[in-house]
């Protein structure tokens, strides 16, 4: 899927971390992630299952 028509979101917390952040865009079948400093650069795409697993680990501090 082309990322050209996606709507990208950046966390409101990103303003205080020196610009080191990501942007995320969702569509019905995937979650796309890119470097906010390089919006024309590559983007990663994760299935909804993969993204959910990542979020569970992030919230748990990596303790599954």
SS3 per residue for the chain: CCCCCCCCEECHHHHHCCCCCEEEEEECCEEEEEECCCCCCCEEEEEHHHHHHHHHHHHHCCCC
- Is residue 40 in some structural domain? yes
- Is residue 26 in some structural domain? yes
pLDDT per residue as tens digits for the range 25-64: 999 999 999 998 898 999 999 999 999 999 999 999 877 6
Number of domains in the chain: 1
| Whole-prediction pTM | 0.78
- Is residue 28 in some structural domain? yes
- Is residue 3 in some structural domain? no
pLDDT score for 17: 61
- Is residue 45 in some structural domain? yes
Please check the confidence at residue 4 and state whether its pLDDT lies above 90: no
Domain that holds residue 40: 9-59
């Amino acid at each position: 899927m082309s990322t050209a028509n996606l709507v990208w979101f950046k966390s409101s917390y990103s303003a205080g971390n020196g610009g080191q952040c990501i942007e995320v865009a969702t569509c019905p079948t995937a979650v796309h992630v890119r470097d906010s400093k390089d919006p024309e650069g590559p983007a990663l795409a994760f299935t909804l299952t993969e993204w959910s697993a990542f979020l569970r680990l992030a919230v748990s501090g990596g303790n599954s």
